[in-house]
Structure 1
Amino acid sequence: MPEESATETTRRLRPIPAEPPAQPPVPAPRSQTPAVERPFVTFGQPETYDDTVGVRPLGGRTRPRALAAAACVVLGLGLIGGAVTGSWLTGESSAGSDARTEFAAAGELWHSVPVDQLFPPTVQGEGAGPGGADRTWTRVAVAPDTDCANAFDPLLRKALAPVGCLRLLRATYTDATRSLVTTVGLLFTKADAIAMTSLQTRFQKDGLDRRSDLMPRPYAVEGTVAAGFGDEQRASWTVSVLTDAPVVVYAVSGFADGRVVSDPQAAEDAMKSGETTAPAQAGLGHDAQGLADRVERDFRRTVTAATEKPS
């Protein structure tokens, strides 16, 4: 906190005025009841008598001292609370400031971080496969950064519209057997933290991340194992709306042989034990979720590194 200017904190001593001469007591009228005589009160033994019964109550602290102490406590808490509230209102909280800094920095990373850092050439997925098996994904294509005009189906584009589209980054990977392909994307939005939180709440409340008519589209490139990875080949997917960054992370997976999938299944459902759908049996839910999780994790590390303060 900035140093405050020095102020006078003690009162100047002033001469004590002479007490006026004591006046003789005025006798009470005969018709009135004489007042209860009270003992002489000093600062060492303050007045503690009850006004109605004239006896000293049992207990520790005296009423005037307790009242004074309570007043001091209330005043102190008020000053502390006022200072804290002022800090919140003016954004002086270091934690809040750091969060806002990271949020803002995250939204700028799409044009300042190398593609290999956002989408590594090889991604290791320890325990990411069915039954906790390890997975390895190799990048086969990277899309140029673009807008969102043709990247999503109409309904998903409408659902994402409240946060806007600043830039979209995508890459497509294949598994070690080269029989499965997965596109993972980072949608950088134009929204603030409040709008991102609102969108996340809506996705979770309405189950938008599990609706097959809200699947992201894949990114296919001729001459790669993902050449035939189109809309009809989508088998499993996941969509994650972040609230600590203006980013939506998603992944969509399918078969590399171009087969049409008639019963696509959200990754969350395809990963459940006992599922017998084609996406579940092939582990495509694990591929979509595993890749999305690791790209998101690396993205968070990048944001943290970009905003770390030198020690």
Structure 2
Amino acid sequence: MPPRPTAAPSTPPRPTAAPNTPPRPKSAPGSFAHIPAPAAPSAPPSRATGQGAGPSASASAPPGSATGQGAPARPTVPLGAGGVSPDPALSWSAPMAPGGAPGATRPVVTFGEPEGFGDAPRAAGRRTRAVVAAACVVLGLGLIGGAVTGSWLIGDAEGSGARDTYAAAGGLWHNVPVDELFPVTINGQGAGPGGADRTWTRIAVAPDSGCADAFDPLLRQALTPVGCQRLLRATYTDATQSYVTTVGLLFTTADAADMRALDTRFDKEGLARRTDLMPKPYAAKGTAAASFGDKQRASWTISVLTDAPVVVYAVSGWADGRTVDSPQPASQATASGATTAPAQAGLGNEAQGLADRIERSLRKTAVTPPSEQPS
């Protein structure tokens, strides 16, 4: 066995005093001016092995770096130029002086208002907006007043023209030749079933008369509120002389308000579609309509005008005198998919097409002076 050592290994003496630590500056925690920066060691510290460290190792290391004797002190790195640290009093976290006003010892940052929002620009902006608003109000009132005035003037002019036309239409029955009210030939482009063209020829004109025998009793009663000044009638036939149609113009004694009321009643109560309110045909002897009587009526239409004191109607049937058990109004006989005999024969188109063209001719004549004087 090797001999036991006679003495313990030599241990370097402990320092008698704590290593000198540079005093820390008196500043509030968190000050940006006194954040220490780590210093790079001049040499890596020696690691104690438990067997003792040599003098050279302890001498080259910073005090307390590897010996565990006290906390090491790190040198501070100055932030200012020339090695001068900034004044702690100017720090954001610097305490306020006792009794001092806020911001007396710390920097004060103010934000200026954007240009144009000062007292003078703001007042000028308010004045500008007030002027613009007042101008808009004045302009708006002027436009509204002008529109109202112009509407009143235009409405009066249009009302006068409408009254003149209404009065002129009421006198057409004795101011206009019969050939202008009931042309000898009427072309109906697209007036037939499926948009086919039609041509009608006048075969008889009834003498102007009253309304006593021209309508069924219920229809005559429905027309009583507007009166009967004169009734004009004419009968037409198609190009093949297969159908006959009587067209009538009832000139009333009513004003525009009464005509509008009658039109509203016909529309709401469906008077123009009732089979017990059909107009009578005009059958002229020696013509294709000689046998055109009440039982031969197949389709009809009635139109109450509101811009003229006139009721326009038409009633159609077969020229061979066949009777019709179920007459059908033209509005239904011309509807798509209608399968009744009057609809299949196109008698609804005959009545509606002739009535429409006589009505257009009447309106045109009412606003245009007659081309010749009545004989």
State TM-score, norm by structure 2. 0.62
State the match for 1:244 in structure 2. 307
Structure 2 portions without partners, runs of 5+: 1-118, 371-375
- The aligned amino acid for 2:219 is L
Is it true that 1:299 corresponds to 2:362 in the alignment?
yes
Moved more, 197-206 or 136-145: 197-206
1:285 to 348, 366, 373: 348
Q: CA deviation at 1:67?
A: 8.1
Is it true that 1:264 corresponds to 2:331 in the alignment?
no
Give aligned pairs, total: 254
Choose between structure 1 and 2 for higher RCO, CA contacts under 8 A separated by at least 6 residues. Answer: 1
1:126 to 180, 183, 189: 189
State the match for 1:94 in structure 2. 157
Q: CA deviation at 1:193?
A: 1.4
1:175 to 215, 238, 263: 238
Q: CA deviation at 1:85?
A: 7.2
1:107-126 equivalences under 5 Å are 107-126=170-189
Take 1:130 and 1:230, find their aligned partners in 2: how far apart are those partners?
24
Take 2:123 and 2:282, find their aligned partners in 1: how far apart are those partners?
87
Q: CA deviation at 1:274?
A: 2.3
Q: CA deviation at 1:239?
A: 0.5
2:301 aligned counterpart, secondary structure: strand
Change (3 A) 1:71 1:227: same
1:1-311 equivalences under 5 Å are 56=123, 58-61=125-128, 63=130, 69=135, 72=138, 76=142, 80=146, 83-84=149-150, 87=153, 93-306=156-369
Change (3 A) 1:86 1:122: closer
Superposition CA RMSD, Å: 2.7
Take 2:136 and 2:354, find their aligned partners in 1: how far apart are those partners?
59
Identity %: 64
Which of structures 1 and 2 has the bigger CA Rg?
2
Change (3 A) 1:131 1:79: closer
Structure 1 portions without partners, runs of 5+: 1-48, 50-54
Take 1:198 and 1:176, find their aligned partners in 2: how far apart are those partners?
38
CA contact (8 A) 1:264 1:279 kept: yes
State the match for 1:41 in structure 2. none
Q: CA deviation at 1:74?
A: 7.5
Q: CA deviation at 1:300?
A: 1.3
Moved more, 155-164 or 180-189: 155-164
CA contact (8 A) 1:105 1:306 kept: no
Take 1:279 and 1:195, find their aligned partners in 2: how far apart are those partners?
33
